[in-house]
Amino acid sequence: MNRIYLDHHATTPLDPRVLEAMTPWLKEKFGNAASREHAFGREAAQAVEKARAQVAALIGCDESEVVFTSGATESDNLAIKGLADSRRGNRDRLVTVATEHPAVLDSCAAVERRGGISVLRLKVGADGLLDPAELEAAVDDRARLVSVMFANNEIGVIQDIPAIGALCRERGAIFHTDAAQAAGKVPIDVRAMDVHLLSLSSHKIYGPKGVGALYVRKRNPRVKLEPLIDGGGHERGLRSGTLNVPGLVGFGAACELAKAEMKSEAERLKSLRNRLWDGLRKRIDQVTLNGHPERRLPGNLNVSFKFVESESLMVALDGIAVSSGAACTTAKAEPSHVLRALGLPEDLARASVRFGLGRFTTAAEIDIVIERVAAAVKKLRKLSPLYRGP
């Protein structure tokens, strides 16, 4: 039986075109980008700067504002802790959201434990969206940083980033967004959206793992961060360490491909997602959608199958890769903090499955998944003493 991969929020396969761009840098081109005294190093440095420009073009910033990291987790840490350690007058509060990725929530908690800065964690509605009035009340003259995820990694909900950016500009707060899931799937323009800091990860857009970036605005206003890693002064002094040239070449190529194909790919994925959702609803009773029905990533579908434990369902779907939540938290016994923040009772939170469609997903695969899921749910519900079918 062929395997079907529908867990693209966790990671994406490497696009063959990206691998082709990387291959020379994994073989004969091995120079250190910091060794500019000779041709090997200069060649590597040129490749890095090309990648930097490709990343910048995807999000609408100047290439000098792109700081390379190991991925969005490091970028989130650098943005939050780096700004917390910088001087911002009497501003002593970080504002974030209960449904953020652990890289943001844990970084905020670490800053809070050190003392001197408090963290305000905003709630969301049943659809996963922030209440604009609550956000406006939270972003006062004490707010140093506002960190709101662009698109949620579990339920795919897209927040109103332009409105949040405009509010932060008006109130003088720095605005950070984790865009690891949104980049390459929906348009991003950090200038138009008034974003000051933005986190990216290569492996979410069909690039290699272990590579990412943090956009750091240089003017209007210039954002100053304290580095997490010292030694060598690489990346404008914000992230020292020898650069992963093959990885960055791949990251840049992945960004360029995503930008070129974004519109058509979004339309294709939305059509496949709707095909999946319609098929599941027709064949399965008591299945509910988690998150806003429209304001979500085109390839995301998060649903709860009442009377079915998601872990049991995933075992039954052997050969089909789906998820019960974020890849970084699936080892924990607790139900998803995102779904609980929506107000889902524990039984529905434990009955949720995240389908993540991607670039190589086909309609034929979607039809197979619909049939397999429907059969598995029917079988598992027969074992539940609580289920009373239609």
Which tens digits make up the pLDDT trace of 14-34? 999 999 999 999 999 999 999
- 158-193 pLDDT tens trace: 999 999 999 999 999 999 999 999 999 999 999 999
- 355-368 pLDDT tens trace: 999 999 999 999 99
Average pLDDT over residues 369-380: 97
Q: Is 328 a catalytic residue?
A: yes
Q: What is the pLDDT of residue 1?
A: 61
- 236-292 pLDDT tens trace: 889 999 999 999 999 999 999 999 999 999 999 999 999 999 999 999 999 999 999
Question: Domains in the chain, please, with CATH?
Answer: 4-11+262-382 (3.90.1150.10), 16-256 (3.40.640.10)
Whether omega for the bond prior to residue 221 falls within 30 degrees of 0, making it cis, is: yes
- 72-114 pLDDT tens trace: 999 999 999 999 988 767 899 999 999 999 999 999 999 999 9
Q: What is the pLDDT of residue 330?
A: 46
CB hemisphere CA count around 350 (13 angstroms): 11
Does the pTM exceed 0.85?
yes
Least confident segment among 311-325, 337-351, 375-389: 375-389
Structure tokens at 28: 């004969």
* Of 61, 108, 255, 328, catalytic: 328
Q: What is the pLDDT of residue 333?
A: 62
Average pLDDT over residues 205-232: 95
Cα–Cα distance measured from residue 168 to residue 177, given in angstroms and rounded to the nearest whole number: 12
Runs of H (alpha helix) within the chain:
16-26, 39-59, 72-84, 102-114, 132-138, 161-171, 245-283, 310-316, 337-341, 346-349, 363-382
Q: What is the pLDDT of residue 386?
A: 83
- 293-331 pLDDT tens trace: 999 999 999 999 999 999 999 999 999 999 986 554 445
Neighbours of 255 (CB within 10 A): 27
Question: Burial level of 304, CB count in 10 A (0-12/13-18/19+)?
Answer: buried
Q: Look at residues 231, 243, 248, 246 and name the one whose alpha carbon lies nearest to residue 34.
A: 243
Q: What is the pLDDT of residue 237?
A: 85
Average pLDDT over residues 126-135: 97
Neighbours of 28 (CB within 10 A): 7
Share the mean pLDDT of the chain: 95
Does residue 332 surpass a pLDDT of 70? Answer: no
The DSSP call for residue 237 is: G
Which is it for the CA torsion 187, 188, 191, 192, positive or negative? positive
